[in-house]
C-alpha cells in the first residue's frame, strides 16, 4: 500500500521547508524513523524521518525545492495489504451512500486531499478547486495546478487593446533580464538557508515598523577583568571566555525590569512573555543561525559562557535541534566580532527588539573633572517594534544596561 510522506512542521511557527538533499532513492528499503531527506527552514536544519517501514516508491519533490508544511514530498510502499483492501473497500462504498448528498460528500472528500499551500493559494485568488483537474497522483490538485490556472485566467482576462499598445510581456521581460546581466556577471539561484534568511528578513521589514536608538558605554572595568582571568578560564574549562556572556547576563536581568522589551505584537494586542529566552546570532562561513538560550534570567556569566560554547559547536557541526532554535523572546547580536562599530539590526520576527553589541574600541574620553582618559568604549544599538514600545521605554532599557555595565566591579 502506498503511503504519503508530507513535510512535517520542524519548529515553532515554521510554515515551510526546503529539501536540501534526499538521503534515499526510489527502490530503497527504509525502516520507520529512518531519515529520508535533509531539510532547511528559517529556523533549523533537520532530517525528515520516515513515518513507515517499506520501499521508497516516488520522490515527488526535487532537491532545492521549498515545500509548505503538510505538502506531499514522497510515497512509500508498505506491506499493509489488509489496510489497502480496507481503504479500497471504503472508497468503493462512498459513491453508493446517500446519493442525494453526492455533491456535498465529493467536496468534503476532495478537501481532505488538498494541502495547506493549495488551499491558501486558492483562497488568495478566489478559486473554486472543484473547477480544477489535478495532475498529481490519483488526481490530486497540486500547487502547480493552481498556479497554472491563475496564470491562464490572467491571460484570458487581459484586455485585447493592451496587446496592440505594447509588445508581448515575455519580450520585455527578456530585455530586462539581458540588461541586468552583463558579460562576466554570474546569476546564482538562492536556496536553502540563504533563501530562508531572505524570506524572514523581508517579512520583518514589511510587517514591523522599526525604530532605532544607540548608547555608548564605558566598559573599561569589564575589559580589565576579562583580561585578568581569561587565561586561567581557558586552562580550566578548555574554551575561551568572550565578552558576550557578560552582555547577555546584563541584558537578561534588564529584561526582567523592562518586560515590554520581552513582548511581541499579536494582532491588536501585546503579549508579554513570561520566559526570557535570548536568541543569539551565530555565523558560519555561508549562513547565519539564531539559536536560543532558554531561561536566560536564571544564568550567570559561567552559565552563559558554557551555553554559548555548546550552541556554537552545534551550529558548526550542523546539529542544532528544533528546541535549540525555538522560543526566543529577544535577540542579541555580536556584530562587534567582525569590527563593526555601529549597525541598524533587523528585528527577529515576531520579537519586539534586537540589540547589537558593537566592537569595543579605545578612545579618548572627557571625564567628569574635564580630564581626558583612554577608555574602552562600546556602542549598543537597539532596534524596536514601534507598535509594541516607544522611544522612552527603549531609552530606559538602554540606560539600565549602560548603568549595570559601567558599574561592573573588577573584584
3-state secondary structure the chain: CEEEEECCCCCCCCCEEEEEEECCCCCCEECCCCEEEEEECCCCEEEEECCCCEEEEEECCCCCEEEECCCEEEEEECCCHHHHHHHHHHHHHHHHCCHHHHHHHHHHHHHCCCCHHHHHHHHHHCCCHHHCCCCCHHHCCCHHHHHHHHHHHHHHHCCHHHHHHCCCHHHHHHHHHHHHCCCCCCCCCCCHHHHHHHHHHHHHHHHCCEEEEEEEEECHHHHHHHHHHHHHHHHHHCCCCCCHHHHHHHHHHHHHHCHHHHEEEECCEEEECCCCCEEECEECCCCEECCEECCHHHCCHHHHHHHHHHHHHHHHCCCCCHHHHCCCCEEEECHHHHCCCCCCCCCCCCECEEEEECCCEEEEEECCCCCEEEEEEEEEEEEEECCCCCHHHHHHHHHHHHHHHHCCCCC
pLDDT at 121: 66
| Active-site annotation holder among 258, 386, 403, 411 | 386
pLDDT at 270: 96
Please indicate whether residue 238 or residue 107 has the higher confidence score (pLDDT): 238
Cβ-proximal residues to 320 (8 Å cutoff; 6+ apart), any chain: 44, 45, 289, 291, 311, 314
pLDDT at 114: 58
pLDDT at 209: 96
pLDDT at 38 exceeding the cut of 60: yes
| Residues forming a β-bridge with 46 | 39
pLDDT at 371: 95
Q: Annotated catalytic, 145?
A: no
pLDDT at 154: 53
The C-alpha cell that represents 40 in the structure block: 532547511
Please indicate whether residue 283 or residue 129 has the higher confidence score (pLDDT): 283
In angstroms, rounded to a whole number, what is the distance separating the alpha carbons of residues 17 and 326?
A: 15
Nearest-CA neighbor of 331 among 285, 377, 288?
Answer: 288
pLDDT at 117: 58
pLDDT 10s digits, 390-404: 999 999 999 999 999
pLDDT 10s digits, 205-230: 999 999 999 999 999 999 999 999 99
Q: Would you say how long the chain is, in residues?
A: 411
Domains of the chain as residue ranges with CATH: 2-150 (2.40.50.100), 194-406 (3.30.559.10)
Segment 378-384 shows an average pLDDT of: 98
Segment 50-58 shows an average pLDDT of: 90
In angstroms, rounded to a whole number, what is the distance separating the alpha carbons of residues 28 and 74?
A: 12
Q: Annotated catalytic, 390?
A: yes
| Active-site annotation holder among 107, 266, 313, 390 | 390
pLDDT at 247: 98
In angstroms, rounded to a whole number, what is the distance separating the alpha carbons of residues 73 and 66?
A: 10
The C-alpha cell that represents 170 in the structure block: 515575455
CA distances to 169, 212, 386 from 261, rounded to whole Å, are: 48, 13, 11
pLDDT band, very low/low/confident/very high, at 10 (cuts 50, 70, 90): confident
Give the range among 20-34, 47-61, 168-182, 348-362 with minimum mean pLDDT. Answer: 168-182
Segment 289-314 shows an average pLDDT of: 95
pLDDT band, very low/low/confident/very high, at 278 (cuts 50, 70, 90): very high
pLDDT at 76: 92
CA distances to 185, 214, 215 from 189, rounded to whole Å, are: 13, 36, 39
> How many Cβ atoms are within 10 Å of 62's Cβ, its own excluded?
8
* Unique residue bearing C-alpha cell 566580532: 337
Amino acid at each position: 500500500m502506498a503511503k504519503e510522506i508530507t513535510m512535517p512542521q520542524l519548529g515553532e511557527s515554521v510554515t515551510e521547508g526546503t529539501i536540501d538533499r534526499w538521503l534515499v532513492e526510489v527502490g530503497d528499503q527504509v525502516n520507520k524513523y529512518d531519515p529520508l531527506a535533509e531539510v532547511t527552514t528559517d529556523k533549523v536544519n533537520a532530517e525528515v524521518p520516515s513515518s513507515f517501514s517499506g520501499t521508497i516508491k516516488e520522490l515527488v519533490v526535487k532537491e532545492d525545492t521549498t515545500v509548505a508544511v503538510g505538502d506531499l514530498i514522497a510515497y512509500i510502499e508498505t506491506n499493509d495489504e489488509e489496510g489497502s483492501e480496507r481503504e479500497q473497500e471504503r472508497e468503493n462504498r462512498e459513491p453508493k451512500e446517500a446519493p442525494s448528498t453526492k455533491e456535498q460528500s465529493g467536496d468534503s472528500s476532495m478537501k481532505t486531499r488538498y494541502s495547506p499551500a493549495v488551499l491558501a493559494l486558492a483562497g488568495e485568488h478566489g478559486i473554486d478547486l472543484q473547477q480544477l483537474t489535478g495532475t498529481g497522483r490519483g488526481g490530486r490538485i497540486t500547487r502547480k495546478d493552481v498556479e497554472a490556472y491563475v496564470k491562464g485566467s490572467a491571460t484570458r482576462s487581459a484586455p485585447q487593446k493592451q496587446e496592440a499598445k505594447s509588445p508581448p510581456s515575455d519580450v520585455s521581460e527578456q530585455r530586462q533580464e539581458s540588461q541586468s546581466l552583463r558579460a562576466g556577471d554570474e546569476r546564482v539561484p538562492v536556496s536553502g538557508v540563504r533563501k530562508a534568511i531572505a524570506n524572514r528578513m523581508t517579512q520583518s521589514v514589511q510587517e514591523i515598523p522599526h525604530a532605532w536608538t544607540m548608547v555608548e558605554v564605558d566598559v573599561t572595568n569589564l575589559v580589565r577583568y576579562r583580561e585578568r582571568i581569561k587565561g586561567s578560564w581557558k586552562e580550566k574549562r578548555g574554551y575561551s571566555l568572550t565578552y558576550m556572556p557578560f552582555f547577555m547576563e546584563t541584558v537578561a536581568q534588564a529584561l526582567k525590569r523592562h518586560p515590554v522589551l520581552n513582548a511581541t505584537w499579536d494582532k491588536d494586542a501585546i503579549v508579554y512573555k513570561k520566559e526570557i529566552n535570548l536568541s543569539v546570532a551565530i555565523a558560519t562561513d555561508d549562513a547565519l543561525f539564531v539559536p536560543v538560550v532558554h531561561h536566560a534570567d536564571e544564568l550567570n556569566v559561567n552559565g552563559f559562557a558554557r551555553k554559548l560554547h555548546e550552541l556554537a559547536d552545534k551550529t558548526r557541526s550542523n546539529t542544532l535541534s528544533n528546541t535549540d532554535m525555538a522560543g526566543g523572546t529577544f535577540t542579541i547580536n555580536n556584530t562587534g566580532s567582525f569590527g563593526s562599530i555601529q549597525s541598524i539590526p533587523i528585528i527577529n520576527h515576531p520579537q519586539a527588539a534586537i540589540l547589537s553589541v558593537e566592537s569595543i574600541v579605545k578612545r579618548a574620553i572627557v571625564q567628569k573633572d574635564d580630564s581626558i582618559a583612554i577608555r574602552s568604549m562600546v556602542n549598543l544599538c537597539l532596534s524596536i517594534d514601534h507598535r509594541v514600545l516607544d522611544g522612552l521605554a527603549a531609552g530606559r532599557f538602554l540606560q539600565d544596561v549602560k548603568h549595570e555595565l559601567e558599574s561592573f566591579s573588577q573584584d
